Amino acid sequence: MRLLFCCLLALLALPAAAQLTESFTDGNFTQNPAWAGDAASFEVNAQLQLQTNGPATTGTVLQLSTASTTANGATWEFYANLKLATSSGNYADVWLLSEQADLKGAGNRGYFVRLGGTPDEVSLFRKDATGSPVYVVNGRDQSLNSATNNLARVRVTRSLADGWTLEVDYTGTGQSYQLEGIGEDNTYLQSNYLGVLLTYSSSNSRNFLFDDFKVTDRLAPSVVRATPTAARQLDVVFDEAVATPQATGSYQLNGGPAVLTATRDAQNQNVVHLTLAADLPTGSNALVLRNIADLAGNVLAGPFTLSFTNSGFAILPGVNQVIITEILADETPVVGLPASEYLEIYNPTANIINLSGVRLLKPGSSGNPAVFPATATLLPGEYAVVCGSTRAEQFASYGKVFGVSNFPSLSNGGDQLVLRSPTSQTLFEVRYSDTWYKDSEKQEGGWALEMIDTTNPCGGLENWTSSTDPSGGTPGRANAVRTANADNRPPALQRALALTAASIRLFFSEKLDSVAAANPALYSVSGQSIAQVAPISPDFRAIDLTLTSPLQPSQPVTVSVQRATDCVGNATGAAATATVALPSAAARGDVVINEILFNPRTGGYDFVELLNRSAKYINLQGWQLGNEKPDGVVDASAISEVPFVLAPGQLVVLTERPDVVQAQYPTSAEPTAFLEVDDLATFPDDAGIVTLFDRSGAPFERVPYSAKQHLALLDDVNGVSLERIRADGGNDAANYHSAAASVGYATPGRRNSQLQEDPAGTKLFSVEPELFTPDADGQQDFTTLNYTLDQTGYAASVTIYDAQGRPVRKLVRNETLPTKGFVQWDGLTDQGRKAGVGIYVLHIELFRPNGGTKREYKRTVVVGARF
């Protein structure tokens, strides 16, 4: 009894740390309570009011704060007088709840009252770690309309249900409060500081006065629920932060095990963790609470009995034990769902999942992750909506909702989302794209993406589609599109890359089982020993191998993977191999522009294909691809920020949207050859110059192109690429031709449909092929006049005559020739019409301008047609 009495006295004697009264009657602001910040720019004046005395400089921002932990079920009051005309450059922010002592901090979070600003109003705002402040209560405009004397005594009340009330007495007496508005917001439930943050122009450095700060919390805490978290662990949740438990005697289980310890949660002071002396009985239980105090010293005297059921305790989730099953990234136009982005999560296990501390984030984003609260759980087979904290009310009718701070902004076109445990283990990852809708109308907005088969959580495009529910989605319940869609395919090794002389990265076609993939016995490298194996998070589609001895430049080795297991257990049978080498320095001409699509189909995207025609392995990291404009300015984009190595003879397709290009050329594209490039330079549809720069920024390759290079017989050149005819040829127009119709008018990542091998032999002039059919079917669409000259300095003219000796096409006119090359004829006349079927003569005039030597040659060619 004496112990209980002493504990009660201790609780009643708790300092009211969460309450605050400051009227500056002691003549200072450095103690009782202590304020800190830009202290040299403030003073307590003769009227015993806090007054600014800062630099007389336009744009000055001053701040002063003091400790205050009151956050809920409280009232904040203060007096202010702004002796100035408020504006966008002259206003005061009085922070009621602040996470940081430095109110200027860019990542600070909490709530503040703004006096002034452009609307000349008194309003309540919420400030998140990123983004602009948002209204909680929007006060009346022009309520502060004096140029010299804006009095305001402000009173803000927050209920335990997170309802906010803003009142202002513009006489400053506290006798004539007017209601400015009400609002609801539950984003922030804790506070560390209260303070003032002031912005002014040069003439207003002494024109801010404050007094009578008062924070009042007179409500005792109330218990919300008790949740078993382990056989001998019980979490008790209150509606506000509670004081550090003074004795385990404050908590007692009726007829149950003794409570050994009571510990307040370090992150969420609303939660107390109880440790029990024995296992908690299953079924109904009763917890008795006595003398629980909040941070202001308000005591729930009790005894208060809370009944709860132990139907099993929540466990921390493992990989794919909590998954994202629905995504609404584009909420407009509204179909039937709330106009708000959301995710749906699902518990596919037979256990209660403890989501406490689980983080939702977008890799690469600079913002803080969203964190699930300490009390968040998900029952077996249960769905829940996850959205921004201010949007939770919109989804209340859909079932369980987690409104979290820092909910990521979901990009309409696609994003990567990750769920991570408190220990940073990747629990689930998805990288969605708007192509997953598989419906052009639903892709425009208002419809959710839904997972088809929740037993196939690693499936991408094949396991997601647009919702078929009339409302646009099924938040909080089983998806409308659910059906069996198992993944029965094992992962494939796609390529290998030497990151450094001592490390190799392997890329796979799908997500791997990260535990199984970490086994070194599964891998071998010819002539090497492996020191370490590291699966790469968050999607585990890549594995890094660390070698014991260095690779040599452009000396290939073979990597072998004995078995690879995907994240749902499919394993490869036979070993897979890949060739890899340490890159060498590239020389001009090693990498060429092999194919260009500059005028894509409707809804399509440009692409440029590169070819490594050397015997080297070349790293494209840091290289750039761009469009050279007529004024010489180049609009360039980085090809890859990470290592990307081209093997000898390898092709790579550069585009913003590989998925779209592959969808438009399904039979002629090679998906493994694509490399996604953010913000690829725009290539004009009429003419331009494709430029390639190496990692030093030096020009490496330059190919002018024009729509006029396309085969003139084509009625529509949209979606038709220009292909390089000869890999070893030059970058002139004669070495490019429209891709063939038989392959869909482009071959991204595959052998060019118009590729022509350099003819063998030493004849001065030869025609290849001697019979051609210019019909864009990909079979002998053009012919080439090939030449090999005995010395430099020759110029040539080539005229084509029909069988009657009539000139048909002036193909070349007095052009200087290199010693080896070719001239292309596409079968068209000078008038742009297709030449008729028959025999034609190529009359060649070769002369040396300096020596006066002239030679003439004739070669025949046949224009045919397919029937």
Which tens digit of pLDDT belongs to each residue from 628-647? 998 889 999 999 988 899 99
- 5 pLDDT band (50/70/90 cuts)? very low
- pLDDT given for residue 755 in this prediction: 85
Nearest Cα to 685, choosing from 611, 749, 597?
597
| 3-state SS assignment for residue 673 | helix
Q: What is the per-residue pLDDT for 849?
A: 65
Give the number of C-alpha atoms closer than 13 A to the C-alpha of residue 69, restricted to the C-beta side. Answer: 15
- Domains (ranges, CATH) in the chain? 20-216 (2.60.120.200), 223-310 (2.60.40.1220), 323-466 (2.60.40.1260), 493-580 (2.60.40.1220), 591-743 (2.60.40.1260), 765-863 (2.60.40.4070)
CB 830 within 8 A of CB 808: yes
pLDDT reading at 306 higher than 80: yes
Kindly calculate the radius of gyration of the chain based on its CA atoms and give it in whole angstroms.
37
Q: Which two tokens stand for residue 181?
A: 């508005």
Give the up-direction half-sphere exposure of residue 115: CA atoms within 13 A in the CB hemisphere.
32
Q: 3-class SS at 740?
A: coil
Over range 560-584, report the average pLDDT. 90
Confidence band for 13, pLDDT divided at 50, 70 and 90: very low
Confidence at residue 1, expressed as pLDDT on a 0 to 100 scale: 31
Position 851 scores a pLDDT of: 61
d(CA 432, CA 437): 10
What does the pLDDT read at residue 11? 32
Q: Where are the beta strands (DSSP E) in 304-380?
A: 304-310, 323-328, 342-346, 353-354, 359-361, 370-371, 377-378
Q: Sorting pLDDT into bands at 50, 70 and 90, what band is 9?
A: very low
Residue 861 has pLDDT above 50, yes or no: yes
Q: Residues 448, 436: contact at Cβ < 8 Å?
A: no
The secondary structure element, H or E, covering residue 288 is: strand 283-289
Task: Please state the separation of Cα 71 from the chain's center in Å.
Answer: 33
- Across 524-531, average pLDDT: 93
**Both tokens of residue 73?**
């079920």
Bridge-based pairing of strands 687-693 and 624-628 is: antiparallel
Instruction: Band the pLDDT of 542: cuts 50, 70, 90.
Output: very high
Could you give the 3-state DSSP secondary structure of residue 654?
strand
Distance CA 384, CA 325 (A): 10
The whole-number pLDDT of residue 153 equals 97
* Phi-psi label, residue 200: left if phi above 0, alpha if psi -120 to 50, beta otherwise: beta
User: Dihedral, CA atoms, 682, 687, 689, 690, nearest 10 degrees?
Assistant: 50
Size of the chain in residues? 867
- pLDDT averaged over every residue in the chain: 90
**Mean predicted confidence (pLDDT) in 388-413:** 92
SS3 727: coil
Strand partners of residue 618 = 646
Average pLDDT, stretch 506-524?
92
* Residue 71 pLDDT: 86
* Residue 47 neighbours by CB under 8 Å, 6+ apart: none
Q: How far apart are CA 757 and CA 227, in angstroms?
A: 74
**pLDDT confidence bin for 760, thresholds 50/70/90:** low
What would the mean pLDDT of 51-55 be, rounded to a whole number? 96
Give yes or no for a contact between 769 and 781, defined as CB atoms under 8 angstroms apart. no
For residue 659, what is the enclosing H or E element? helix 658-664
CA distances, 763 to each of 152, 847, 854 (Å): 98, 17, 18
3-state secondary structure of 401: strand
How many Å from the N-terminal Cα to the C-terminal Cα in the chain?
109
Mean pLDDT computed over 779-796: 83
Region 592-611: mean pLDDT is 96
d(CA 347, CA 380): 6
Tell whether the model's pLDDT for residue 18 goes beyond 80. no
What confidence score (pLDDT) does residue 146 get? Answer: 96
- Per residue in 446-492, pLDDT tens? 999 999 999 999 999 999 999 999 999 999 999 999 999 999 889 99
pLDDT for position 819: 78
Q: Enumerate the H helices of 214-332 as residue ranges.
A: none
Q: Which 8-state DSSP code applies to residue 662? A: H
Place of tokens 């107390």: 272
Query: Phi, psi (5° rounding) for residue 565?
Result: -120, 125
Q: Is the pLDDT of residue 590 over 60?
A: yes
CA atoms within 13 Å, Cβ hemisphere of 145: 4
For residue 457, give the nearest of 569, 341, 379, 352 by alpha carbon: 569
- Of the two residues 37 and 390, the one the predictor is more confident about is 37
What's the average model confidence in pLDDT over 336-353? 94
- Asked if omega into 408 is within 30° of 0 (cis), the reply is no
Instruction: Please name the residues in contact with 719: beta carbons below 8 A apart, sequence gap of 6 or more.
Output: 597, 599, 600, 601, 604, 664, 745, 746
pLDDT of residue 867: 67
pLDDT for 296 beyond 80:
no
Q: Which residues contact 423 (CB under 8 A, 6 or more apart)?
A: none
Residue indicated by tokens 């425009």: 444
For residue 3, the model assigns a pLDDT of: 32
Tokens in use for 561? 């993977």
pLDDT value at 668 more than 90: yes
CB atoms within 10 A of CB 474: 22
Q: Rounded distance, CA 628 to CA 393, Å?
A: 52
What is the Cα–Cα distance from 736 to 51, expressed in whole angstroms? 76
Q: What is the pLDDT of residue 850?
A: 66
Are 273 and 233 in contact by the 8 Å Cβ rule? The answer is yes
Q: For residue range 830-840, what is the model confidence (pLDDT) as tens digits?
A: 988 889 999 99
The residue type of 651 is: L
Which DSSP state fits 745?
S
Query: What global pTM score does this model have?
Result: 0.56
Residues 380 and 383: their CA atoms lie apart, in Å, by: 9
Q: Residue 186's pLDDT is what?
A: 86
Inform me whether the pLDDT recorded for 317 exceeds 80: yes
Overall average pLDDT of the 245-260 stretch: 86
On the question of pLDDT at 852 being above 70, the answer is: no
Distance CA 793, CA 814 (A): 12
Poorest-confidence range of 238-247, 261-270, 755-764? 755-764
pLDDT of residue 14: 35
Helix (H) or strand (E) segment spanning residue 663: helix 658-664
> To which H or E segment does residue 11 belong?
helix 2-12
Q: What is the mean pLDDT of residues 165-179?
A: 95
CA distance 260 to 639: 61
pLDDT of residue 10: 33
